Structure 1
Amino acid sequence: MIKNSKKIFITIFVLVFQLNASALLLAKDPKQIPSFRIRNLSG
């Protein structure tokens, strides 16, 4: 159970980090956001 909770915690952390990164990009250069999102969705 400890390993599973660690995986869940890491997954949530990565998702939050990605949201923060996209927010920073949005603040810096709005033109970069669409390509950034497409890259994220495609993997």
Structure 2
Amino acid sequence: MYLTSIATDTVNLIFILCIQHIFILLYHFSSLATTAVKDHC
């Protein structure tokens, strides 16, 4: 029982970290895109 809860916590942690990482990447990408568009126009 204890091992399954540890595994669940680990999976949840990895999932949360991945989601945060994706959001950070999207945020950086959108700001890069905006600057590129501003420079281009």
Give the alignment's Cα RMSD to 1 decimal: 0.8
Normalising by the residue count of structure 1, what TM-score does the alignment of the two structures yield?
A: 0.66
Higher CA-based Rg: 2
Question: What is the number of residues matched between the two proteins?
Answer: 30
Normalising by the residue count of structure 2, what TM-score does the alignment of the two structures yield?
A: 0.69
Over 3 Å off, 4+ runs: none
Identity of aligned residues (%): 13
Q: Which runs of 5+ in 1 are unaligned?
A: 31-43
Higher relative contact order, structure no. (Cα contacts within 8 Å, ≥ 6 residues apart): 1
